[in-house]
A and B are shown apart, each in its own frame.
Chain A
């Protein structure tokens, strides 16, 4: 197997600094922690999709031997939510339940059997209300409101209008519109949700160890919902078995576990089943997109109008941000003179959706790229040529105020066109086989954080002591993407020392500085820059100490390979350890920090919602997918993928390649087979057998190319690498299916039943055309 990224960057990269722990079984995840003496926490869930809670009686459960605590909505006085403007959820439902599976009560008991028995003894009486499982039903004029302050069950409407739309469509040679529907999907990280909480009644302190991607939010929300002083709380992230956005928002079970621990005055462990983990999801919503595009004969885009409806589930969660992203990310990838966007985030009686890898942009990208492909076909243009006709020229600012400082999309296109043999093979493949292509992009962290406080976007602390080891303290959550390794490399490269000298401690709110965590692919850009800044500050101290010892000036000191000299190749040299000893003499153990702030001009447009989509740099990706489609069964297989990603600069090419492969594959899951299904609000998909994601058998070879456009503001020029390539897969595949068997698939995923329906339509159309021709002749 060729390792293309190595050839491309000339560097292979390094394995993860915690990789050995993972392959030897030493890595401890939340469920692996020592829980001696811990009580077992369990949650009672609503059996109905929408109802008022009339009566709650927990007396029998409380009376059961071995039960330490029983909680209901009455114990939850404060609402929570990830967006300060939309906190409308309680850890346990009060007065009303809005989806099947919503937590209504919780128990901590000496063991699982007792805890489950106690749940059975809790009596709750419901008065059912009409429930809505589709956006259209929820928006019906006479629909009961899920939340009284949101008329029409619309959580947020967005209307954005940039450029002269009418003039744009008038200038087009071809205008086409289509409507696509993308199913709700799930993060389905393999580690089920789990939480270990300990409350010490004598000190009043709470310690929570948990699967979070953002320990800082969890810390904040615990303080809020438990009405505790933040200083009394400590949140620690052990190893985390994947996130993909599932664990960005604070989730009900985390708060409930902490509340149980406080109520019981001790330690409580809660692990959700796989079924419960599916319910507690915050994932990519079912999305309808109506997209209209104007194109000139030469492939230039003239205007785009897009309407998006997202079925967001029962509570706000990230909803407002998701519906804004869906519009904002129409920009920043191609040059489109006019864009109109209308978005509707709708409440429904289903578990709430939230952020998932490629947040907000994936389904609109699907609608956009597949329409481009169809229009290119109609105009007799090559899909690559159309993309090339619409490239941006960096640096530039988009109509909605997004800054594009580096832009490697042209190189990405070249790389996958060449590698896939597109010119020779496109349109010339055997029946049922074809190539398809698409482009995509994603932000490197949102330049305006959700909890805007005015503080820097990232802070790193470095500690250096007598042993000569450098410990980097970061709140950035490594959830498998390798962010701690990135921090170690950034520090080591800046200091000019080996990686073995660096330790990274991540995500313990008692020790590590506050960080906005693993979301919106922000860590490499923001935390990477902070790490470099911190290392530069440390280096300055060391250089000064070396200069003093070598009786020279700091400007004269050269540090290379951990050795300090006067001038390049100078005779007098000090080892790293010697310099550390010298530096400690006056002050003792050294602590320095570095921070990074996104300048205000990067924080988005002035229009309402303009902060969403704003970023310091976009990653760009192009990919070609080769598929085989069985016309008789509707079965689609993916034979090969070529993908190129512009990540600015690959700080760790090995990890970048891993992220590209993983994100493309996740896009493949959404495109091929993944979807949630609800029967009257009951999750019918809540296991790995029913929620079908690709196994290794269906997973193709993915050839990943790294393009390095060297972003002027990125750490060593780097941008994000984990999300940008995802959104290109579904349109590339569906376009390939179109080329393979001549169907126009407007839904995701491309399951055999959907394909057969599309094939049936194609046959009917062909038969009608034949009849017409016969009649005419």
Chain B
């Protein structure tokens, strides 16, 4: 039955990291696969079998979502941001720099997701408390840092922005 009913594709128009693009995607394609395979934004990681780890966190219209739980076609006409999009003229943003300098990233696998979840937080709350940071990052697992330096990184970025 191979290939008898061709799976349906449709044209997706989406703004990714500030640039509009159009791609044919399957109805059932996940945002994480679209970003990784088609757009080649490999910062968006797959750490689990769906919705458990937050490694795939991206911003959809500024809100942190799990790209592995989001259909690509749901992003029609909307804006998607990944950690690559935070760079300004190739330079890390203040938040990225803070994660670097404060060792918020050890192996770095959770890091893009962690930074995007933190970015969403700082946009709506530029000066979060430790507990607000914890609440915002509750869905992002890290196995390396014990989270201590992740909290420090977010704090440092928020302090630098005052």
Contact = CB atoms under 8 A, between A and B. Distances in A.
A775 interface: no
B141 interface: yes
Interface string A35-74: 0000000000000000000000000000001100000000
Interface string B131-154: 001110111111111111111100
Interface stretch (B8-16, B43-51, B59-67, B72-80): B43-51
A688 B52 CA distance: 6
A411 interface: no
Contacts of B71: none
B133 to A, nearest CB: 8
A688 B139 CA distance: 11
Given A31-B46, A190-B55, A24 B92 contact: yes
B111 interface: yes
B105 A22 contact: yes
Given A661-B145, A687-B48, A696-B138, A191 B105 contact: no
Contacts of B19: none
Contacts of B87: 24
A696 B83 contact: no
Interface residues of A, number: 59
Contacts of B97: 23
Given A22-B105, A480-B106, A688-B141, A192 B47 contact: yes
Interface in B2-37: 2, 36
A172 interface: no
B138 to A, nearest CB: 5
B41 interface: yes
Contacts of B151: 1, 696
A274 B47 contact: yes
Contacts of A239: 107-109
Contacts of B150: 696
Contacts of A192: 46-48
Given A22-B108, A25-B84, A274-B52, A693 B141 contact: yes
B110 interface: yes
Interface centre among B109, B110, B133 (most CB of A within 10 A): B109
A658 B108 CA distance: 13
B52 A190 contact: no
B29 to A, nearest CB: 13
Given A190-B141, A661-B148, A696-B150, A23 B92 contact: yes
Contact of B142 (A20, A24, A190): A190
B103 A687 contact: no
- Main SS at interface, chain A: loop
B51 to A, nearest CB: 8
A240 B49 contact: no
Contacts of B45: 29, 31, 190-191, 241
B82 interface: yes
Contacts of A21: 108
B106 A697 contact: no
Contacts of A275: 49
Nearest to A114: B2
A16 interface: yes
A191 B143 CA distance: 10
A659 to B, nearest CB: 8
Contacts, number: 178
B49 A655 contact: no
Contact of B152 (A1, A31, A65): A1
A19 B105 contact: yes
A365 B96 CA distance: 39
Contact of A241 (B84, B86, B108, B139): B108
B70 interface: no
Q: Which of B42, B82, B144, B145 has the most CB of A within 10 A?
A: B144
Contact of A482 (B46, B47, B106, B146): B106
B109 A16 contact: no
Contact of B105 (A23, A28, A479, A666): A23
Interface string A457-495: 000000000000000000000011110000000000000
B48 A241 contact: no
A485 to B, nearest CB: 10
Contact of A189 (B36, B107, B138): B107
A241 B107 contact: yes
Contacts of A241: 45, 47, 107-110
Contacts of B48: 192, 274, 687-688
A199 interface: no
Given A65-B2, A696-B137, A654 B143 contact: no
Contact of A699 (B42, B112, B146): B146
A244 B42 contact: no
A621 to B, nearest CB: 14
Interface of B: 2, 36, 41-43, 45-49, 52-53, 55, 82-84, 86-87, 92, 96-97, 99-112, 115, 133-135, 137-152, 155
18 contacts: A15-B102, A22-B100, A24-B83, A25-B83, A25-B84, A188-B143, A189-B107, A190-B110, A191-B45, A191-B109, A192-B47, A240-B107, A244-B143, A273-B49, A274-B48, A658-B103, A662-B106, A695-B141
Across the A-B interface, give the 6 residue pairs with the lowest CB-CB distance, nearest first. Answer: A25-B43, A480-B107, A665-B146, A241-B109, A22-B108, A32-B42
